[in-house]
Amino acid sequence: MARRAKYRPACRFAAPACLALAILVAVPQAARAGAWTLPAGRGEVIATGIWSRADAAFAAGAGSLPSDFGKGAASLFVQHGWTDRLTVFSKIEVARESDGVSGYERSGVSELLGGARLRLFKHGGFVAAAELAGGFAPGDGPLLAAARTTLEPRVAAGYGFELAGLPGFVDAEAAYRLRTGGDASDELRLDVTAGLRAWRRWLFLARSNSTLAVSGTGAAAPYAYHKLQGSVVFDVADRWSIEAGLFTTIAGSNAPKERGLVTALWYRY
């Protein structure tokens, strides 16, 4: 009879930077891996599902507006370490969005992109990277708008540490999404993620995402939204993890007050 394999964490707790890599390569929401790159020949596949509702929306000024917004989305993200310093990735997302008040409704491919992340600096637990992604996104603002192509440069910095003997990390990213086609606006994106592995198999994540429209022509109204997300990750085995969490939109302008659920399944190779 074959002997059952023992569970082994992706990295040993004594190496905070390595731990942060193991944590961040599976960060959900936009399928980003922060400032960390994957070792050459290693990779990850992440399947994510999102469901959200909003019965009100942030107005352009103070106050709120009625809304009957709903969204369901499924995405698949694949990344691979081309070298130790360079990670390549791709993503496809299919979504359905509707708003009963405005009559808006859309379904289909909402994002298709590819790109690369280059590590620029690494010392101790600190790491910095630059990323460039491009692709097709028929719209990914608070309400899907017509957009044909996107180009997104991004910079990220992360730090792996230990807190009372528990491995953790913090990661901050800034990106500018250039969008062409229709009445789409360019976007400034600011993301902050923190994680703490309280037990060997359990990881707790907190994330803040901010998106601001910074330019645009035509009928597109300027918008902004700021979301908070909390989630728990459980390592089922060496190569498999599952994640579940909740998110909410805490502030915004011309954006629905979303509350939703995110789930993800990760496979590492």
Least Cα distance to 156 among 121, 188, 207 occurs for 121
pLDDT 10s digits, 102-136: 888 888 888 889 999 999 999 989 999 999 999 87
pLDDT 10s digits, 173-232: 999 999 876 667 889 999 999 999 999 899 999 999 999 998 755 556 788 999 999 999
pLDDT 10s digits, 3-49: 444 444 444 434 444 444 444 443 333 334 689 999 999 999 999 99
Count of other CB atoms within 10 angstroms of residue 132: 14
Least confident piece of the model among 85-94, 117-126, 142-151 = 142-151
Find the angle CA(71)-CA(75)-CA(77) to the nearest 5 degrees.
Answer: 150
Tell me the residue ranges of DSSP E strands in 181-221.
187-199, 202-213
Q: How far apart are CA 141 and CA 120, in angstroms?
A: 30
Domain assignments of the chain as residue spans, ordered by start = 16-268
- Global pTM value: 0.81
What pLDDT shows up at residue 150?
A: 86
Domain spanning 16-268: CATH 2.40.160.40: yes
Q: How far apart are CA 14 and CA 107, in angstroms?
A: 46
Q: How far apart are CA 49 and CA 89, in angstroms?
A: 19
What mean pLDDT value characterizes the chain? 84
Q: How far apart are CA 106 and CA 98, in angstroms?
A: 6
What pLDDT shows up at residue 220?
A: 61
**Residue matched to tokens 């400032």:** 35
